[in-house]
């Protein structure tokens, strides 16, 4: 159970403790920013369900309400909400409390980034080199490598002379 009774006291201690943690400067800065925002939010609450820096249920309620505020009033994206929740978890670990039981946001699936033409060429040439090393085995790998090699060299023709989409 945390010994801090005021939010500013807990925040000041966390800020001092954070400087000694094995985290990157960017992570420290981000966590501190997010925890300061959360503490500002806590200072506006009327603690109906107990002290959120000392009681697990009050902590859960406060963090859930904060998550709702981030999504609603602040229009935070799911990744920003999850970042704030990670920082708050870190803060509660510092307070030696259980991390809040708050569900993370589902992140939208992202399509893989397409390779730029120079990256495509490097990839196709790597495939060609790999296949040529294993060509003595025969099979489809060598044929694929020849096709890839034609694409990498901009020839766009298959071995039989027909068109090849590269």
Question: pLDDT over 90 for what percent of the chain?
Answer: 39
Q: What integer pLDDT is reported at residue 157 of this predicted model?
A: 46
- What digits encode the pLDDT tens for the residues 26-68? 999 999 999 999 999 998 888 788 888 888 889 999 999 999 9
Structure tokens at 165: 């989409």
CA distance readout (Å), 64 to 17, 42, 81, 90:
25, 12, 11, 16
CB atoms under 10 Å from CB of 115, counted, come to: 12
Q: Sign of the C-alpha dihedral, residues 54, 59, 62, 63?
A: positive
Structure tokens at 153: 């060299």
Residue length of the chain: 166
Q: Kindly state the average pLDDT of the residues 116-138.
A: 78
**pLDDT tier for residue 158 given thresholds of 50, 70 and 90:** very low
CA distance readout (Å), 82 to 34, 79, 89, 124:
11, 5, 10, 38
CATH class of the 7-94 domain in this structure: mainly alpha
Domain map of the chain by residue range?
A: 7-94, 111-166
Put simply, whether the predicted model's pTM sits higher than 0.75 gets the answer no
């Amino acid at each position: 159970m945390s010994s801090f009774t005021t939010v500013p006291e807990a925040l000041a201690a966390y800020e001092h403790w954070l400087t000694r943690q094995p985290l990157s400067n960017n992570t420290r800065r981000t966590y501190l920013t997010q925890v300061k925002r959360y503490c500002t939010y806590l200072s506006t609450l009327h603690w109906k369900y107990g002290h959120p820096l000392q009681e697990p249920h009050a902590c859960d309620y406060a963090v859930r309400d904060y998550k709702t505020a981030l999504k609603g009033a602040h229009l935070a994206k799911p990744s920003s909400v999850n970042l704030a929740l990670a920082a708050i978890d870190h803060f509660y670990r510092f307070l030696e409390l259980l991390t809040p039981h708050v569900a993370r946001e589902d992140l939208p699936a992202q399509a893989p980034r397409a390779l730029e033409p120079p990256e495509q060429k490097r990839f196709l040439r790597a495939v060609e080199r790999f296949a040529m090393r294993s060509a003595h085995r025969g099979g489809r790998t060598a044929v694929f490598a020849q096709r890839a090699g034609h694409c990498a060299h901009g020839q766009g023709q298959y071995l039989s002379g027909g068109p090849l989409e590269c």
